[in-house]
Structure 1
Amino acid sequence: MLGCLAFAQQTLYKIEGTVIDRNTREPLEFVNVLVVGLNIGSSTDAEGRFRIEQVPPGIYALQASMLGYKTVTTSEYRVNHRSPHIQIEMEEEKTQLSEVTVTASPFQRITESPVSLRVIGLQEIEKAPGANRDISRVVQNYPGVAFSPVGYRNDLIVRGGGPSENRFFLDGVEIPNINHFSTQGASGGPVGLIDADLIRNVKFYSGAFPANRGNALSSVLDFSLRDGDMEHRSVKATLGASEVSLSSNGHIGEKTSYVVSVRQSYLQMLFKVLGLPFLPKYTDASFKVKTRFDSHNELTLLGLGGIDRMKLNLGIDGEDAEYILSYLPKIEQETFTLGGVYRHYAGPHVQSVTLSHSYLNNRNLKYRDNDESSEENLTLRLRSVEQETKLRMENTSRWDVWKLNAGIELNYSHYTNTTYQQVYTQEAHTSDYYTDLNLFRWGLYASMDYTAPDERFTASLGVRADASNYNDKMKELWRQLSPRLSVSWKLADGLYLSGHTGLYYQLPPYTALGFKEENNRYVNRHLDYTSVSQTSAGLTWTPNETMELSAEGFYKYYKNMPLSVADGIPLSCKGNDYGVIGNEALVSDAEGRAYGVELMFKWLIVQRLNLSSSLTVFKSEFRDRRKESDYISSAWDNRFILNVSGTYNFPKQWSVGMKASCIGGSPYTPYDAEKSSLVSAWNAQGKAYYNYDLYNTERLSAFGQLDIRVDKTFYWKKCMFGIYLDIQNITASKLRQPDVLMSTGQIDNPSAPLAEQRYVMKSIKQESGTLLPTLGITFEY
């Protein structure tokens, strides 16, 4: 520890690594490796090793260039006393141009997804104002992504699509959700499940999904995790917005590296201080172990799991708390994903096999008036388990200007559900059933990419087909055939015109597929896959290596959306609250559309400025195709989203960040006062019912908030210490919501028959928006 306290005027560090040929896996000599933005670097030796001395601390990317090879810009790495050993892979340039100009640009372009793709680096994840290192909140800086000023939720709402339409992958292994306290059948929760200390970067697709990433309609988040350090071992402790975490990375022997993290929340304490009616608590753990058997074979094992407990804060007063406590259940969840990826490098061909198992155990419990003294007060008891085992086998081959990716997927799912729930539709009844559903899915995919020798034109043609044994229609692969095409032209230096069109399918949630009526019959056997056809086109201009300006238009058309029989609302318009969605009678008879324009400007100056601003103007709407009615605004039809976010780095490792956000008002539905006041109706769910004949005919006001963040980092010889202050909604902006309709518990007509008795109702004023300061501390040794 004495070395940790030996402070220098400016501590400088070194970066070490290796450069290899992507195909042969052999080391490359005489490669120039530069630190982007510093113009310092070195060349590789005969063993492909490089060493760059006298590097100031911070977060940097590297650029590797060599005659006859394509120039590579790496992901971002933190340079400090434990700078990791960096391995860079380079691909041979088959067609040598007469003149080579090397430019280090942080803006990546991918042939398969030339539009609708953003790559989020380490700098943004670590220091995004108002995000507290939670990737779900970092993504909200980008075009097309809405945020909710109502409640403490992380629901991912992309381009007018619902929170159930997203998919998540960790190093190629699919995980069901990236948030604690997930809404079963959808996604979201108050806080992220993945520790930011494990993330290297994130590819965020708001469209133009790769063919090997199926079952998504609105977005794909593809996480690349850090490899453990093969040269050193380190430990890092972090005190964040809602949890304390401990992570470590290093190596076991000469071939195996590891990264591991454990986090424990203190949200219960924080929410209790804030006087909130619910008290969430969670624990999570994650790891990645990678073994390089030799230069051509490697195995990665990873795991992610969480334990969630949400209690009710019954000791607080106030009408707001009374309302939430009247319907919110106690929630207990356990979730985990374990997976392995074996990869074999055979020259221009790379084969991979991915095997994983995911598990979710969800339990909800609710008693009327939270009185557990009698079982007669029980209104909800849900015990549900979802398990998925997935196998994917894939080959990627590269020949000169061509790239071929093809693979197959197999999936076995086991879903059980024991539900007792009081329900009121036209009259009060009880839903009491048990489900034990076994489901098989399979899929095929392939894509071919072409890049012209001068890189002025790229094209990608892909196709995917999925099927399931749930019903006869779903078994036929051709019904779920998903073609897609992407093209991009370089109109001038730094100016690109790109477009994409494709058709995508998603299986309804297990909660819907497994729903039963009292006669023990599966109600929704007739459901189809939901489909969405997407078209997008855009212009991207990078006038230099530090700036990018883009404009993109998109159109999405949905078919066969699951529609609630009881209320006539698509399932995709639900799922932004705690509990479960999909456990009801549904028909595949809704269709929808979302369309709009996105503008984005980014300005990145290494170790100085990270500025991002985006504007999205859009509409999101649906209709019941059986009625041939007009389109109705969906729950996510905010009309516009504006974000301006930036972080400026000052001397002596100080940085200040600020984010201004504004979002259009959400549509909402008035209450059905007559139905809500019925004693039997109110007792069934403990909250008011909406008048779905007037669905989303009203609209809230627009909402804006300002977040700030201040960081200070100390770098010493053998350790790093950082402290930050993050303040969400520093202006304490408030959003006025419609008054809540609430029962007083007093019966207005006690002498009437039970089915006609009504409560005396009252209105409760509602508003949201809380100033939330957070002090964070990190220490790495």
Structure 2
Amino acid sequence: MIKRIYISILLAALGCMIFAQSPRYRIEGTVIDRDTREPLEFVNVLVMGVGVGAATDADGHFIIGEVPPGIYSLQASMLGYKTIVTAEYRVNHRTPHIWIEMEKEGAQLSEVTITASPFQRVAESPVSLRVIGMQEIEKAPGANRDISRVVQNYPGVAFSPVGYRNDLIVRGGGPSENRFFLDGIEIPNINHFSTQGASGGPVGLIDADLIRNVKFYSGAFPANRGNALSSVLDFRLRDGDMEHNSVKATLGASEVSLTSNGHWGDKTSYVVSVRQSYLQMLFKLLGLPFLPAYTDASFKLKTRFDAHNELTVLGLGGIDRMRLNLDINGEDAEYLLSYLPKIEQETYTVGGVYRHYAGPHVQSVTLSHSYLNNRNLKYRDNDESSEDNLMLRLRSVEQETRFRLENTSRWNVWKLNAGVELSYLQYTNTTYQQVFTDAAHLYDYRTDLGIFRWGVYASMDYTAPDERFTASLGVRADANNYSDKMKKLDRQLSPRLSVSWRLAEGLFLSGHTGLYYQLPQYTALGFKDEYGRYANRHLNYTSVSQTSAGLTWHPNETVEVSAEGFYKLYKDMPLSVADGIPLSCKGNDYGVIGNEALVSDAEGRSYGVEVMFKWLLVQRLNLSSSLTVFKSEFRKNNQDTYVPSAWDNRFIFNVSGTYNFPKQWSVGMKVCCIGGSPYTPYDVEKSSLVTAWNAQGKAYYDYSRYNTGRLPAFGQLDVRVDKMFYWKKCMFGIYLDIQNITASKLRQPDVLMSTGEIENPSASLAEQRYVMKSIKQESGTLLPTIGITFEY
């Protein structure tokens, strides 16, 4: 099937090459008043970086002709209204109709000129916010159009050189501390084969062809985005085209996808995507011990009933299957195959957002449902011939229905946002698991847990008429009926304050402070002990107080330089009773975290400085560089001493850029370096015990020496080359993306493995030990991939 699609794409592209020439295109759109929803006449609309534009007519309509193909933003300006810069759009034979909403000036200004900038600033989050546009998503070197990897170019975001995973590690926080929203609808995760209780996986779940842009918050989270401690990714999907219907096919690094974009009638637009992976073929070619395969689908429907009412319905789902590659040999494979389970997952989110525009007031109602069915199965030595070899059988389902009612009002320089949230969670679990702590334990239980959650929030923003000063004051409170203390809203009261002051033209001093809360993982809330009792009823919400301050300098419209310091202080972190490690230090491997006995005793802190330089030249250069120097630590209780967390890399450095050459060629390069991760030596005595090894199939760490070792620093170079062909009726593109072109290797501690041979067979079962061996470990693979896109 993949071969047929591949050949069809090439034949269609060849036909376009033979029978068509490279034309220029036109952009059509409409400009309206954001409050009244009425069209605006005499608005000047310019294509940024090109120098061509047009003015709107009496219907607010504009047409800009003779625009060269590429990815552009538009600038709209008019006397009495704020000048704005739109999101990025691709200009080709299927350029969508562009809707632009303009906001009236808060007051008439006589001697002040405010210039729009592509670098977005928001009163609620003047620090720690980055907006990722279409060009970065499409052409970021080494990312293969996967948003989790694109985000790794930004300050404070670590990447893992070990394994093929997309775990988001932001400002020293764990992969379970992030939240994701799709056009205002919360989704549990954005990766296939996600670790239940965390957020990572080997490949992204969202097709890049559907993404318009992404707001990435590494702090200063808006009040209406709750339950996050480290980051929020707020995705904005593209609207369907109300003028044309089109089909786009993409053959990427790990999958083939088909995307359709268009309209039904004169009120409803749609965009839909289906992807099928061939990642298992790539992993088998690389000789990896696990072979993942996935299918996903996503859609967005938008109906504009009239100028004041609209409904958006969207859905996202995936089917994942990961089997073990038992046909390969070698000690590396032996180690991974000894503990990796088979994984089967189905996940989806469907939801709708209804918006009513009533002058300066906008009401929205959001209803959604998320579902995750996760199944893990592991037999000792992968021998399924006998049930005596069963180590793990997990069947877990998470379902959550969410409702949000929100109002946003604007009066001149003021903005008020307020809302309420309600949700119902149903968590079911059937677990059979062998565990060894100080002795062998068997957990064999069933969970059927229902939890009601509720929350309220409000924020008030002020923006001075000349935009010299902004301030935002917000508050949020969350609760649920899991336990008596979690029912009290005042225990999870979450205030926050942001301010920003323009010291000079283009120079801003900004700061933020806030307190945030997160509910422990559902896997932890539903865990039962050996006696069938809920073992974690005593847990609290985890809290983190965040403070950040920074300087941002825009010497012109194309350059941004920023420096920001941050400090995060964690309280009531869930701590494992078995090993004395916080859950936040786990979650970067396959399987499940949180399904163990926990106490809310741990504390943590993370602090550092981020510096970033960004240079944007439309249709020429997109260059960014960032350096983060930080520390991430935790302690078991407030009487203990701090030790490095699992994410204490100390520094992260990135330089990433794409340069566009004539005739639609572009070349991108990325250099990334990260400090060495701390590691924990093995407990050889415990690991060699037959009962201990047979329980989990891998060695145990000596947590009394937790993170006393440190790996060397690691760096790699990624390169990407793109070539695009634009014609009158179609578009064709091809790219070569080479990750780790220098084949850099990270030396890791030797892995402790059982030989399967018992050194004292005459001893009692509790005292028998395996003969152990060490396996040399290193990671880092040169990975070239070719991608092809075709749109008709």
| Equivalent residue number for residue 437 of structure 1 | 449
Q: Which residue identity lines up with residue 522 of structure 1 in the other structure?
A: Y
Kept in 2, the 8 Å contact 1:22–1:90? The answer is yes
Cα distance, 1:7 vs structure 2:
5.9
Structure 1 residues 197-223: Cα deviation after superposition (integer angstroms, max 9, x where no partner): 000000000000000000000000000
Q: Which of these residues, 581, 603, 611, is aligned with residue 591 of structure 1?
A: 603
Task: Tell me the distance in 1 between the aligned counterparts of 2:416 and 2:459.
Answer: 6
Residue type at the aligned position of 1:257: S
Task: Say which of 58, 65, 86 aligns to 1:53.
Answer: 65
Is the CA contact 2:496–2:513 (under 8 Å) kept in the aligned structure 1?
yes
1:100 deviates by: 5.3
- The equivalent residue for 2:280 is 268
- Cα distance in 1 between the residues matched to 2:656 and 2:191: 23
Q: Partners of 2:680 and 2:636 in 1: how far apart?
A: 17
**More moved, 53-62 vs 510-519:** 510-519
Task: State the Cα deviation string for residues 545-603 of structure 1 (Å, max 9, x = none).
Answer: 00000000000000000000000000000000000000000000000000000000000
Q: Counterpart of 1:650?
A: 661
Aligned length in residues? 780
1 CA distance for matches of 2:621 and 2:789?
A: 22
SS in 1 for 2:704: helix
Q: Which runs of 5+ in 2 are unaligned?
A: 1-11
1:253-301 deviation line (CA, Å, top 9, x unaligned): 0000000000000011110000000000000000000000000000000
CA distance in 2, matches of 1:207, 1:8: 49
Letter of the 2:140 counterpart: A
State how far apart, in whole Å, the 2-side matches of 1:597 and 1:517 are. Answer: 43
1:754 alignment partner, SS class: coil
Alpha-carbon distance in 2 for matches of 1:251, 1:663: 46
Separation in structure 2 between the aligned mates of residue 561 and residue 339 of structure 1, nearest angstrom: 32
Whole-Å separation in 2 of the counterparts to 1:765 and 1:426: 28
> 1:590-629 CA distances to partner (integer Å, 9 max, x unpaired)?
0000000000000000000000000000000000116x12
CA distance in 2, matches of 1:5, 1:195: 27
> Counterparts in 2 of 1:342-361, with a 5 A limit?
342-361=354-373
- Say which is worse superposed, 706-715 or 102-111, in terms of deviation: 102-111
Which digits, 9 at most, give the CA deviation of each residue in 1:309-336, with x for residues without a partner?
0000000000000010000000000000
Determine whether 1:720 maps to 2:720: no
Alignment match, 1:201? 213
Q: Is the 8 A contact 2:21 2:728 kept in 1?
A: no
Deviations 1:222-257 (A, max 9, x none): 000000000001000000010000001000000000
2:675 alignment partner, one of 655, 664, 669? 664
CA distance in structure 2 between the partners assigned to 1:100 and 1:247 by the alignment:
46
Map residues 311-390 of structure 1 onto 2, 5 A cutoff.
311-390=323-402
Distance 1:100 1:596 in 2: 37
Q: Is the 8 A contact 1:65 1:102 kept in 2?
A: no
Verify: 1:612 aligned to 2:641, yes or no. Answer: no
Q: Which amino acid aligns with 2:228?
A: A
Partner of 1:448: 460
Q: From the superposition, tell whether residues 102 and 465 of structure 1 become closer, same or farther in structure 2 (CA, over 3 Å).
A: closer
What secondary structure is seen at the aligned counterpart in 2 of 1:755? coil
2:700 to 689, 700, 706: 689
Which residue of the partner structure matches residue 22 of structure 1? 34
- The CA deviation at 1:6 is 6.2
Tell me the equivalent position of 1:132. Answer: 144
Asked if structure 2 preserves the Cα contact closer than 8 Å seen for 1:669 and 1:694, the reply is yes
Match of 1:33 among 25, 45, 51: 45
Return the alpha-carbon distance in structure 2 between the equivalents of residues 411 and 353 of structure 1: 13
Match of 1:290 among 287, 292, 302: 302
| 2:668–2:721 Cα contact (<8 Å) kept | yes
Distance 1:103 1:10 in 2: 34
Q: Which residue of structure 2 lines up, in the alignment, with residue 107 of structure 1?
A: 119
Matches within 5 A, 1:245-644: 245-625=257-637, 628-644=639-655
Cα distance in 2 between the residues matched to 1:521 and 1:709: 54
Q: Structure 2 CA distance, aligned partners of 1:314 and 1:8? A: 50
TM-score norm. by structure 2 comes to 0.98
**Counterpart amino acid of residue 264 in structure 1:** Q
User: Do the aligned partners of 2:43 and 2:56 also contact (CA within 8 Å) in 1?
Assistant: yes
Partner of 1:768: 779
How far did residue 10 of structure 1 move?
4.3
Please report how far the alpha carbon of residue 428 of structure 1 lies from its aligned counterpart in structure 2 after TM superposition: 1.0
SS of residue in 1 equivalent to 2:202: coil
Is 2:790 aligned against 1:779?
Answer: yes
Deviation at 1:101, TM superposition (A): 3.1
User: Residue 149 of structure 2 aligns to a residue in which SS?
Assistant: helix
Secondary structure at the counterpart of residue 326 of structure 1: helix
Q: Percent identical across equivalent pairs?
A: 86
Q: Which residue of 1 aligns with 2:762?
A: 751
AA in 1 matched with 2:309 = N
SS of alignment partner, residue 14 of structure 1? strand
Distance across 2 between alignment mates of 1:248 and 1:733: 40
Amino acid at match of 1:484: R
2:6 maps to what in 1? none
1: distance between equivalents of 2:757 and 2:90? Answer: 62
Q: Is the 8 A contact 2:21 2:727 kept in 1?
A: no
Deviation, structure 1 residue 518: 2.2
